[in-house]
C-alpha cells in the first residue's frame, strides 16, 4: 500500500525542516510527501527547496490550514494518508508501527498513537514554565497522530474549511458517525512542539468559538429530518 503524507505550512521557517526530515527519516519511508505552503511570507519556501525532489511542494494564497490540507489531498496518490504539522515531529517508527497494525487488522481503518508534548528549545527561559504541559505523554486522537485508509477518509468527506482551527475535531466526529473503525498503537508516534506561536495557545477565544460551532453542526447532523 502506498503512503502519502501531507504537511501544511504557514510561516514555518523555524521548524519545517525538522518536521519534513522526521517524515522522510521513517524506518519505513512514505511513498509521497506533499508540503503545501499556505502563503508564507518568511523563508519557508527557501527551506523546502533544500529537500529537492524528495518532496512535492504546492502553494496557495493564505487561506488557512483546512483549505491547504484539502488541496493537498486532491493531489495525493496514496492508499493510506498521514499528516504532520509543520512544527511537530514524527518519531522514527511511526509508519512502521501503524502499517503493521493495519496489516494485522484488516477491519481497522485508522490508527492513532500517543503524543509526547515538549517545550521547544528556542523558547526563552522566562517563558518556558507557562508553556510546560500538565501531561507530557497521552493518547493522541490528533491529525498528526493518524494514519488512515484513503477510502475511509473520503467517506467522511473533506475537512470543513469554515473551521480553520478545529476542522480536524469536527471531521473526526463526523467520521465516527459514519462508522470509522480505529485502533491505537501503544507507542509515542508524534512529538508535539509547544512554542510561542502555537495557534491554539494564542487564539484560544477563536478556537473556543469554533469548537462550539463544530458541536452545533454535529448535533444538527444527528437530528432526523423534519
pTM for the whole structure:
0.88
**What value does the mean pLDDT take over residues 187-213?**
70
Q: What pLDDT band is residue 95 in, cutting at 50, 70 and 90?
A: very high
Please tell me what DSSP assigns to residue 140. Answer: E
Q: Phi, psi at residue 115, to the nearest 5°? A: -120, 135
What fold, for 3-222? Spore Coat Polysaccharide Biosynthesis Protein SpsA; Chain A (3.90.550)
Displacement of CA 156 from its chain's centroid (Å)? 16
Least confident of 28-32, 187-191, 204-208: 204-208
In the chain, domain spans = 3-222
Separation CA 80–CA 99 (nearest Å): 9
pLDDT at res. 198: 83
Question: Percent of the chain at pLDDT above 70?
Answer: 88
* Residue tagged 498521514 (cell numbers): 82
pLDDT at res. 201: 47
pLDDT at res. 223: 47
* Residue tagged 512502521 (cell numbers): 96
* 131-161 confidence digits (pLDDT tens): 999 999 999 999 999 999 999 999 999 999 9
Closest CA to 84 of 52, 53, 55, 105: 55
What is the per-residue DSSP string for 46-100?
Answer: HHHHTTGGGSEEEEESS--HHHHHHHHHTT---SEEEE--TT-EE-TTHHHHHHH
**What mean pLDDT, rounded, does the chain reach?**
91
Closest CA to 40 of 15, 20, 21, 18: 15
Amino acid at each position: 500500500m502506498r503512503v502519502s503524507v501531507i504537511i501544511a505550512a504557514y510561516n514555518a521557517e523555524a521548524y519545517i525542516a525538522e518536521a519534513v526530515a522526521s517524515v522522510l527519516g521513517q524506518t519505513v519511508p512514505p511513498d509521497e510527501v506533499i508540503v503545501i505552503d499556505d502563503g508564507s511570507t518568511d523563508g519557508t519556501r527557501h527551506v523546502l527547496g533544500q529537500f529537492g525532489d524528495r518532496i512535492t511542494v504546492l502553494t496557495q494564497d493564505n487561506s488557512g490550514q483546512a483549505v491547504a490540507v484539502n488541496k493537498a489531498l486532491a493531489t495525493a496518490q496514496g492508499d493510506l494518508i498521514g499528516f504532520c504539522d509543520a512544527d511537530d515531529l514524527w518519531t522514527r517508527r511511526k509508519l512502521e508501527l501503524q502499517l503493521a497494525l493495519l496489516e494485522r487488522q484488516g477491519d481497522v481503518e485508522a490508527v492513532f498513537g500517543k503524543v509526547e508534548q515538549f517545550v521547544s528549545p528556542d523558547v526563552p527561559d522566562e517563558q518556558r514554565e507557562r508553556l510546560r504541559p500538565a501531561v507530557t505523554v497521552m493518547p493522541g486522537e490528533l491529525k498528526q497522530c493518524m494514519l488512515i485508509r484513503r477510502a475511509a477518509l473520503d467517506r467522511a468527506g473533506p475537512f470543513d474549511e469554515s473551521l480553520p482551527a478545529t476542522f480536524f475535531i469536527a471531521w473526526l466526529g463526523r467520521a465516527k458517525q459514519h462508522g470509522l473503525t480505529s485502533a491505537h498503537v501503544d507507542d509515542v508516534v508524534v512529538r508535539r512542539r509547544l512554542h510561542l506561536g502555537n495557534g491554539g495557545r494564542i487564539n484560544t477565544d477563536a478556537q473556543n468559538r469554533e469548537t462550539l460551532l463544530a458541536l452545533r453542526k454535529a448535533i444538527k447532523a444527528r437530528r432526523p429530518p423534519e
